[in-house]
Structure 1
Amino acid sequence: MELNEQEVIRRENLEQLREMGINPYPAAEFKINATTSDIKQSFKKDEVKQVTIAGRIMSRRMMGKAAFVELQDPYGRIQLYINRDDICTGENKDLYNIVFKKLLDLGDIIGVEGHVFSTKTGEISIHVKQLQVLSKSLRPLPVVKHKEGVAYDAFLDPEQRYRQRYVDLIVNQGVKEVFLKRTKIFQSMRQFFITKGYVEVDTPVLQSIPGGASARPFVSHHEALNIPLYLRIANELYLKRLIVGGFDGVFEFSRNFR
């Protein structure tokens, strides 16, 4: 596979990190004690709270010896304030001047430790005192910029979103909520049936006789038995057999193939 310019540069950055003794694959264990949502919900202006958090770099603004970074974890995003002399307390400033400024890219995963504060504009942020590289992203992410609730250069192409759902989840805020809501809906339905005395079951996905009215099934072949099998179109016949067998009520969240 031919690499584009960005992918080549990122691999070169990876090699330089390794030469400096930093190996992101696999990274050393990094224990966190907070998440973005925890920090924002529990923030108090008169309290100095130390936090350790990890996440993906989504944007950054460099200002000489200091920088602002937008960090994303599974629960949201938060701003980091990184000062060169804070994370490089000795004479060696390579962690900031080389690693952070030159070898880290958007999409890389880092772990940071610092205290929570509020900027002059009222944004809850983390003043970073320690920084650790956890993983290197070898492929660039689409850069989606948000300003006043409007997304610019959004990742909206349906073909790309469905084929690269992981990218869709990373860059498009709100997509993850759809997945979580779907899970909660299924959990609610499952709990409802269970409280009513129904039993959750599994029925065959490969069937010797496909049921499902006039729908056309996908055909497969069982090598050991030398028989044709069909991906199920419907599961109701097997559920009815369980009722005949003595169950009062059964249910299944089944994948059907039409």
Structure 2
Amino acid sequence: MAEELGSTEREIVAQRVRKAEELKKLGVNPFGNGHAPAHLAEDVLRRYGDQPAEEIAKDPGSWSVAGRVLAVRSFGKAAFLRLRDRSGELQVWVKKDKVGDQGFEVFKLLDVGDLVAAEGPATRTKTGELTVEAHRFTILTKAVRPLPEKWHGLSDVEERYRRRYVDLVATPGVRETFVKRARIVSTIRRFLDERGYLEVETPTLHKPEEAGGAAARPFETHHNALDLDLKLRIATELHLKRLVVGGLERVYEIGRIWRNEGIDRRHNPEFTSIEFYQAYATHLDLMRLTEELFHRLAVEVTGGPIISFQGQRIDLTPPYPRVSMLEEGARALGLSPDDALAGRGLAEAVARAASRENDSEGAWKLEQAARRSPGEILAIAFEVFAERELPRDRPAFVVDFPLETSPLSRRRDADPRLVDRFELFVGGMELANAFSELNDPMDQRARFEAQMKAKAAGDEEAMPYDEDFVRALEHGMPPTAGEGIGIDRLAMLLTDSASIRDVILFPLLKSRD
């Protein structure tokens, strides 16, 4: 441990270790076990509220609390401690004439960061703060390493992610972020359970031919006992649809997904998503369900339908507007939708668009797009030019996706060049992706074959050919709609967090070396 510390911190640690030894001499285990407080801080706060000291004195009770010491104000033979447990913070008053000589000797070995237990009546101090007056006091766990005094600057932001266990204690608001994240997940579960969905679990280790369900590069691993190359899942889609074939007509899974891709403020290679599938439904049904879900999440997690995200006021009250990818992508290229889908004048339009695009990344995407199909070009044009024009004060559904962008979506009956699909954008982020599912096994086989050709041509994100999934479709899948929602981005939105790392407890980081 000493090699990690500067000289000042090394001396602090040595001093605290000596205090731990002194506690042992007093008969106190500095790393104790088995203490269960009878109350939480919020129990005391809820019981007395704003009652004045005179009212509290009539029924002060006896309160047993425990938690981490965040601050100490000492006045000789008395001190006030700021104590935090899982429910909140509470002041504890330690006086020598109440805790006795032994208890006060233990107190004198206290440091900020220690975990302590106190028991005694409630009171209100002269400054008006509700307080537990300790008649019994002990240290449960000695913190031999000090908490940081403050966090600031870019280097400290990364240190926060590396030492989340300290970040949760030292940085205001971090704990509440993850409490809200947990509330998001539990609200989604309740919402779907109320509608007859069944929560299931599917494999996270896939054989190479099964590692599909999205356009992404998987992580690879190897199972020694079976001598089998495997890939970590990039989506839960294909296994969940197998279950719909088997008669589980409404299913969902909340789970970890791994994609071997870049890292930025909205992407982490390990993330959490929910996918849910409903038989006898279309993507239009899921649009309505998604509006209901996002409205309910806003109300239950933030207290109302209007939220603030990075300085932008967003109203999550339904209904949400629809924006056509086909029309806006074609408009950005100066073409009609029909000409763009047919490829008429498309190469020239893309070249012109790339030459006038000021953003280097956007220009590069357009240059690369020239090698792709008309539908894929339209999707890239929409991403470069139209995404930034989407409404920011409310969510928006992007619709009218070209067939080539969606190898697992059902063709639109009215126009087979398009698929029945939508993406939901909120606050400039894509949060949900849904479509009416393809249940024609012959069509699915042909699309897998097209994906294999794309892979052979160098597309590392093209899907593998999953013969077993096609076989499942041959047994008959009812008309079905499915949707995926990124839990991490949803947490960013509802906690007003700028980076995905702020809502993942332990995000992947480069090694210090």
| 2:70 maps to 1:58 | yes
1:128-167 matches, within 5 Å, as: 128-143=134-149, 153-154=150-151, 157-167=156-166
Question: 1:194 aligns to what?
Answer: 193
Indicate which of 85, 100, 116 corresponds to 1:110. Answer: 116
- The amino acid that maps onto 1:50 is S
- SS of the aligned residue for 1:100 comes to helix
Q: Kindly indicate whether the alpha-carbon contact (under 8 Å) linking 2:106 and 2:138 is maintained by their aligned counterparts in 1.
A: no
Q: Equivalent of 2:103, from 84, 95, 100?
A: 95
Q: Which segments of 5 or more consecutive residues in structure 1 lack a partner in the other structure?
A: 144-152
Q: Does 1:251 align with 2:252?
A: yes
Structure 1: how far apart are the matches of 2:180 and 2:42?
A: 18
1:82 paired residue number? 94
Using the alignment, how far apart are the partners of 1:186 and 1:257 within structure 2? 19
Which amino acid letter does the alignment assign opposite residue 229 of structure 2?
P
Aligned residue for 1:106, secondary structure, equals coil
Contact 1:114 1:126 in 2 (8 A): yes
- Secondary structure of 1:110's partner? strand
Q: Letter of the aligned partner of 2:158 in structure 1?
A: E
- CA contact under 8 A between 2:117 and 2:137: conserved in structure 1? yes
TM-aligned CA deviation for residue 155 of structure 1: 6.3
The CA distance in 2 between the partners of 1:73 and 1:94, in whole Å, is 25
**How far off is 1:257 after superposition?**
0.5
Alignment correspondent of 2:272? none
Q: Which amino acid aligns with 1:37?
A: E
Asked whether 1:224 is paired with 2:236, we answer no
Alpha-carbon contact 1:239-1:250 (below 8 Å) kept: yes
What letter is aligned with 2:206? Q
Change in CA separation of 1:175 and 1:206 when aligned onto 2, cut-off 3 Å: same
Q: How far apart are 1:211 and its partner, in Å?
A: 0.6
- Which moves more between the two structures, 109-118 or 205-214? 205-214
Corresponding position of 1:19: 25
Structure 2 gap ranges (5+): 260-513
In the aligned structure 2, how far is the partner of 1:65 from the partner of 1:75?
Answer: 29
- 2: CA distance, partners of 1:109 / 1:99: 12
From 61, 67, 70, the equivalent of 2:79 is 67
Residues 49 and 155 (structure 1), Cα distance of their counterparts in 2 relative to 1, 3 Å cut: farther
Question: Deviations 1:12-37 (Å, cap 9, x if unpaired)?
Answer: 1111111221113333x334232111
Paired position in structure 2 for 1:34? 39
> What is the DSSP-based 3-state SS (H/G/I as helix, E as strand, rest coil) of the residue aligned with 1:53?
strand
User: How far apart, in 2, do the equivalents of 1:124 and 1:64 lie?
Assistant: 21
Counterparts of 1:128 and 1:255, CA distance in 2: 45
Alpha-carbon distance in 2 for matches of 1:130, 1:214: 61
RMSD: 1.7
> In structure 1, what is the Cα distance between the partners aligned to 2:244 and 2:38?
49
- Relative distance call for 1:213 and 1:125 in structure 2 (3 A) is closer
CA distance in 2, matches of 1:94, 1:242: 64
SS at match of 1:255: strand
CA distance in 1, matches of 2:152, 2:110: 22
| Structure that is richer in helix per residue | 2
Q: Is the 8 A contact 2:103 2:138 kept in 1?
A: no
Aligned-pair identity in percent equals 41
Give 1:154 shift.
4.1
| Partner Cα separation in structure 2 for residue 231 and residue 244 of structure 1 | 23
Residue 99 (structure 1) shift: 2.5
SS in 1 for 2:92: strand
Deviations 1:107-158 (A, max 9, x none): 1111111111112221111111111221111211123xxxxxxxxx346722
**1:169-208 to 2 correspondence within 5 Å?**
169-208=168-207
More strand by share: 1
TM-score by length of 1: 0.87
Q: How many pairs were matched up?
A: 242
Give the secondary-structure state (helix, strand or coil) at the position aligned to 1:203: coil
SS in structure 2 of the partner of residue 252 of structure 1? strand
Tell me the SS of whatever aligns to 2:254.
coil
Amino acid paired to 1:79? Q
Give the C-alpha shift of residue 213 in structure 1. Answer: 4.0
Conserved? CA contact 1:142–1:155, under 8 Å: no
Calculate the TM-score normalised by the size of structure 2: 0.45
Q: Aligned AA for 1:67?
A: A
Hey, what does 2:267 align to over in structure 1? none
Runs of 4+ in structure 1 over 6 Å off: none
What is the distance in 1 between the residues matched to 2:180 and 2:88? 16
Quick one: which amino acid aligns to residue 32 of structure 1?
P
In structure 1, C-alpha distance between the alignment counterparts of 2:118 and 2:197, rounded to whole Å: 48
